Amino acid sequence: MTRFFAWLAGLLAALAAAQTPSRPPRAVTDEEVRRVHRSALLIDTHNDVAGLTLRGFDIGAHNAKGHTDLARLKQGGVGAVFFAVYVPASAVQENRSAHRALEAFDSVRRDIAARYPRDFALALSAADIEAARRAGRIAVLMGVEGGHAIEDSLRLLRSYYDLGARYLTLTHVNSNNWADSSGDENQPGAKRHHGLTAFGREVIAEMNRLGMIADVSHVSDKTFWDVLAVSRAPVFASHSSCRALANMPRNLSDEMIVALARQGGVVQINFGCEFLSQKSVDTSPWTNPELAARARASRQQALELQARMTRATLADVVAHIRHVTELAGVEAVGIGTDFDGVSCVPMGLEDYSKMPALTRALLEDGFSAEQIAMIYGGNTLRLMRAVERAANR
């Protein structure tokens, strides 16, 4: 029944939101943008640049093809980044999941945090993020992406916590031995369990005990509901947006957003075009099945299709933030860019250096400085503190 009421509440909120007349943009000065942007602690809960540093990219150098480097993080006034310790699905077949996870941990710790100690500071808690900010450094955090990284071992899960992981994305595009992914729903041969298995529930319990956030980005809808039912602490979607605006399985439905928010959770808006705009979903070789088949045929074809897809815009990001705010409250939304993990980024928000443009757009849309501070980092800090309090180590 509760799920029905959550759905009903979500539907009513969405109807109310749809009837809100569009406001003319508020006039905003450059000085106000600077002041509001500087006063907010901007936390990005998902970045994939460790995939590049792992292969030798120097975060202090210009990232010509990507979105993340030290100069642009500073230009954008970024306060903290969760770097993904990403383990591709292919590592399972190669029996190298833990190997790959350990190498990615080393890259974040050594090639990012330790290599530029005046600019970055390793952070393991909400308090650490605030301390890094006071010291004028960018806080470096880690989240493991892909539950197969633990190789079905709570001992590995605990070891990853000890290395600094503060969240685990329960699946990647592949279902693992204990949780279903949104990525292989209709794939023949995919190992699926209808949500979380009994061991999957043990994984969540151990994450709660450790003080590690359960990340529901990438999981199937049934897994999402199972996680919400068993987790003692709030959970988040580290890099997902709203299905109501861009209908694809990686995004959350209104019903899911309302339920997540009710437990203190946060939807961290993903900046990938396909996560933001229905036109991008329809024209992308990643989300349009017909185009995907053509893209698989040749790499050249894939690149051509990619170049021709409809890009999202800065306004789309504002629309997603507005949607979650009207549906579930401003305390339910945050930022999880997926920079260097997505190939198409919005016009006007191409990399971290453009973040002040988002601040301007949010102010113009009527968000207050206090609300922007919550969206940019306050909500994530609140969630982290709740997860830390629920821990029982």
CA distance 180 to 8: 26
For residue 173, what are the CA distances in angstroms to 110, 146, 233? Answer: 28, 8, 24
CA distance 314 to 44: 16
Q: Classify residue 181 by its DSSP letter.
A: B
Phi, psi of 266, rounded to the nearest 5 degrees: -135, 135
Could you list the active site residues? 46, 48, 145, 172, 218, 239, 338
CA distance 177 to 230: 18
CA distance 336 to 377: 11
For residue 135, what are the CA distances in angstroms to 44, 106, 108? Answer: 19, 24, 20
Angle, CA of 84, 85 and 89, to the nearest 5°:
105
Decide: 335 and 376 in contact? Cβ < 8 Å: yes
Alpha-helix residue ranges (DSSP H) falling in the chain: 2-19, 30-39, 50-53, 70-75, 90-93, 97-106, 126-134, 154-163, 198-210, 221-230, 254-262, 273-276, 278-283, 289-297, 299-308, 314-328, 355-364, 369-373, 379-390
Reference 280, options 250, 302, 253, 312; nearest CA is 312
3-class secondary-structure state, position 329: coil
